[in-house]
Chains A and B, each alone.
Chain A
Amino acid sequence: MDISSSGPIWLTLQLASVTVMILLAIGTPIAWWLAHTRSKMRVGIEAVVALPLVLPPTVLGFYLLILLGPNGWIGGPLKTLTGSPLSFTFTGLVFASTLYSLPFVVQPLQSNFESIGSTPMETAASLGASRWDAFFSVILPLSRRGYLTATVLGFAHTLGEFGVVLMVGGNIPGKTKVISIEIYDRVEVLEYTQAHILSAGLLLFSFIILLTVYSINKKLPVHIS
């Protein structure tokens, strides 16, 4: 593989890893809240979280472009603070990917928390554990399957995104040019061999990840109370 392809690959992996880490951090409280709340807002929040599943990526990308651009609600203030808006930057890509892949992390975590139910937390509390303590000592170990699924789905979905990235990040080598866009570029200029290498690589990589996850998942014990 030549040097011009390894750039996008490296960038893609970086983007997917950072995005997944952020998603796990913010997805956990959202999923926990959705799994346990009796609030009427729940349905609304669930719908918002699921939006990226049904929206065309270009729609999400378009609004994000406006929001993160030099005159947007987020991009504007940031530009006055740091001198640069978020659109067409790596940070902007992370922001966009986080929103785009949100349901892929929140939904498996939510169904995981729902299947665990509220009894392990109550039991841990009756044994003297605070909420944080109970979460880390009981809920998290019981949620290995859920977290594995959420991580893989979030990672894989970020790897494959195209529309949002193109809208928000553009096509700047080394900054925002990820594999999917690189493949598109190569096809445009009829470099089918390069496109093949990248596409087959992505295909194989995704397959291996999923295969690994499903075989680990099979070995992990199921904990349903």
Chain B
Amino acid sequence: MTDFLKATFKVDYPEFGLDVDLKLPASGITVVFGPSGSGKTTLLRCLAGLEKSGTMEIAGEVWQNENIFIPVNQRAIGMVFQDSRLFPHLNVRDNLLYGYKRTPVDFRRLHLEEVIHVLALENLLERGIEKLSGGEKQRVALGRALLTSPKLLLMDEPLAALDAQRKTEIIPFIRKIEKELSIPIIYVTHSMSEVLQLVDTMVILKEGKVVKWGPVEKVFADIQLRDAIGDQHSGAVLDTTVLEHDTEFGITRLDFMGQELSVPLQNIPQGQGLRVHIHSKDVSLATQPPDGLTSVLNILKTKVKKIGENEGYSVDIELDAGRPLLATITRKSLSNLNLQIGQPIYAFIKAIRMVHDSERV
């Protein structure tokens, strides 16, 4: 896959700096994750051209370097902010059309009817901005940005101001935009539940620097990222496919790289994808398959890939299950098992979290 976006930025403020070198794919949702003050918003502002710094190239087109700087209003970007920033003197329709009218006719790929349909805005068009709920405002802001037919959509914590209920309303729309309209999205957040639900490519920022970036399953299973991701979220993010539903036992069977996983019954059609999150502390290891009975339903055949160097009583093990999987075991167990790199090992998974449930975790 060729890189769609290449950028280097260096910003120096008295109390804060950003120094990044990014290469991002042409599709999917890239989530920029990091604590507040890590430079996420500054990075977006650089990409948008609101800060003058560094170099940027998108789909082979140079937007800025030493000699060139395409100003914000001439960049094919859409921006969505935490506080919708709708224009209060215009109604919903005129807000939606503000950017559309200013997009050259030849560049218009998205039109009002389509965007209204995708974002379910039919009943809001003639409303004033002050009569919209927080979630509706964000949908309109999203629509307004889309109607500029952007090559890239930049979203700065668009859900941060919404309650959990509204968040779950909006997230499917963001997925839909990426899939149906094929617009790559760069999404900034400090919420892990948003990361898990949206991410394809992940960029972790810390103190203005990129700590790690890559496909989500790789980044999450990186045992060195415990601190950056947070202990409670450390573990693997796996994309599975629904195989079948077993209504008698209330179970849905999932296919994961040719192996099977069982989760509580899901209201998702067969063949559709389901993303699951397996916390490292919910995975225990055994060198043999269970010869007797066990209450653990989910056992994956894996190989030991990497052994962490935790100082405390526990240690992280990275496993290869076709995709990376993470297990946290005690150092005592590590010594008992005498694990070697490349050794086949059985991973007993005690709990699987559905990502759409993660709001409640």
Partner of A126, one of B78, B87, B89, B103: B78
Q: Which residue of B lies closest to A130 (CB)?
A: B73
Q: Does A99 contact B (CB under 8 A)?
A: no
Interface centre among B83, B87, B98 (most CB of A within 10 A): B87
B102 touches A126 (CB 8 A): no
Query: Taking A122-B50, A125-B71, A129-B102 as contacts, is the C-beta distance between A221 and B77 under 8 angstroms?
Result: no
Query: Taking A127-B102, A127-B148 as contacts, is the C-beta distance between A223 and B72 under 8 angstroms?
Result: no
Q: Closest CB-CB distance, A222 to chain B, in whole Å?
A: 9
Partner of A142, one of B78, B88, B145, B148: B88
A221 touches B79 (CB 8 A): no
Partner of A138, one of B87, B103, B144: B87
Q: Does A123 contact B (CB under 8 A)?
A: yes
A142 touches B144 (CB 8 A): no
Q: Closest CB-CB distance, B295 to chain A, in whole Å?
A: 55
Q: Does B81 contact A (CB under 8 A)?
A: yes
B72 touches A125 (CB 8 A): yes
Query: Taking A122-B50, A125-B72, A127-B144 as contacts, is the C-beta distance between A225 and B85 under 8 angstroms?
Result: yes
B73 touches A120 (CB 8 A): no
Please name all residues of chain B whose beta carbon is closer than 8 Å to the beta carbon of A127 when the two chains form the complex.
73, 98-99, 102, 144-145, 148
Cα-based distance from A134 to B101 in the complex (angstroms): 13
Q: Count the B residues whose beta carbon is within 8 Å of the partner chain — how many? A: 22
Q: Closest CB-CB distance, B88 to chain A, in whole Å?
A: 5
Cα-based distance from A221 to B145 in the complex (angstroms): 25
Q: Closest CB-CB distance, A109 to chain B, in whole Å?
A: 18
Q: Does A119 contact B (CB under 8 A)?
A: yes
A125 touches B73 (CB 8 A): yes
Please name all residues of chain B whose beta carbon is closer than 8 Å to the beta carbon of A142 when the two chains form the complex.
87-89
Please name all residues of chain B whose beta carbon is closer than 8 Å to the beta carbon of A141 when the two chains form the complex.
89
Beyond the given A122-B72, A127-B73, A128-B102, could you list 19 further A-B residue pairs with CB under 8 A, ordered by the A residue number?
Answer: A119-B81, A119-B85, A120-B85, A123-B79, A123-B85, A124-B87, A125-B71, A126-B48, A126-B145, A127-B98, A127-B102, A127-B145, A128-B103, A134-B73, A137-B98, A142-B87, A221-B88, A223-B89, A225-B83
Interface on A for B, CB 8 Å cutoff? 119-120, 122-130, 133-134, 137-138, 141-142, 221, 223, 225
